[in-house]
Amino acid sequence: MGCDMQFSGLQAPFFPQSYQRDVGGFSLLELMITLLIIALLVSLAMPNFMSRVQDDRLTSQINEFAAALYLTRSEAIKRGVRVTLCKSSDGLTCTTANGWEQGWLIFEDNNSDATLNNISELIVKHEALNPNLRLRGNNLVADYISYTASGHVKTTSDAIMSGSLTLCDNRTDPQVTMKKLVLIGSGRFRIEAINVNDCL
Residue 41 lies in a domain: no
Residue 127 lies in a domain: yes
Domain span at residue 91 reads: 54-198
The model scores a pTM over 0.85 = no
Per-residue confidence of the chain (200 residues) as pLDDT tens digits?
455 555 445 454 544 555 455 555 668 888 888 888 887 877 776 667 678 888 999 999 999 999 999 999 999 999 999 999 999 999 999 999 999 999 999 999 999 999 999 988 999 999 999 999 999 999 999 999 999 999 999 999 999 999 999 999 999 888 899 999 999 999 999 999 999 999 98
**82-to-40, 106, 108, 117 alpha-carbon distances in Å:** 58, 11, 6, 14
Q: How many structural domains does the chain have?
A: 1
Q: Residue 174 burial (CB < 10 Å; 0-12/13-18/19+)?
A: exposed
Distance CA 3, CA 25 (A): 43
Write the CATH number for 131: 3.55.40.10
Residue 11 lies in a domain: no
Give me the pLDDT at residue 25, please: 66
Residue 106 lies in a domain: yes
Residue 9 lies in a domain: no
Residue 158 lies in a domain: yes
Residue 58 lies in a domain: yes
